[in-house]
Amino acid sequence: MRVFLAALLGAWLMGNVAMAVVATQNFRAVDRVLRAAAGSAGSLRDPHIARSAPSELIRLMERLPAAEARMLLRYLASEMNRLYFRIWGWGQLLLALLTLGGLWAGGVEDRVVHVSVVAMLALVLVAVFALTPEITAIGRRLDFAPRNPPPPEFARFWRFHTLYTLLDLAKMGLGLLALIRLARLP
């Protein structure tokens, strides 16, 4: 049972890492594609761009002004991230419930492990039911808003985003603590 619980915690932790990578790379891909469409010599040598920006895409992107193309692609990246974070939030709830069920059914009596996983679940609940919906709503209002000067909601969006990131880091720390404690049990 401890191996199963360790696998659940490991999957949960790796899922968080994967989400961070996916979310940042979705936005970085926008700039890579735009550089490729603009014919930047440096970006055309990028093997990722060579495979992901065929000549048809480059011709289509050239028809749009650069600012509009960027806004369109960033909107797409934002929508993808919103979907992924919503799905991941529900996936984390499932992982939390499976982990807690395994802890109680498996006879793991380490209080630190139990408290860590319950605290992780609490952080996920805050993210799923409070932060993610608010970040999504504000983000959608800001998607096509002018950035100069920044809209008033921009600061609010980043406060929620920062809070989400800090809670995610705390959750990762708790997960690592639980995993280490679980591994050290007799």
Question: For residue range 31-50, what is the model confidence (pLDDT) as tens digits?
Answer: 888 887 776 444 444 555 55
C-alpha 71, offset from chain centre = 20
Q: From its phi and psi, is residue 64 left (phi > 0), alpha (psi between -120 and 50) or beta?
A: beta
The pLDDT value recorded for residue 1 is: 86
Give per-residue pLDDT as tens, 49-71: 555 557 787 778 778 888 898 99
pLDDT tier at 106 (50, 70, 90 boundaries)? confident
16 within 8 A of 178, measured Cβ to Cβ: no
The pLDDT value recorded for residue 86 is: 97
Q: Please count the structural domains in the chain.
A: 1
Q: How far is CA 140 from CA 80, 136, 157, 182, in A?
A: 12, 6, 10, 41
- Which range marks the domain in which residue 173 is found? 2-184
154 within 8 A of 142, measured Cβ to Cβ: yes
The predicted model scores a pTM of: 0.87
The pLDDT value recorded for residue 39 is: 67
CB neighbourhood size of 95 (10 A): 22
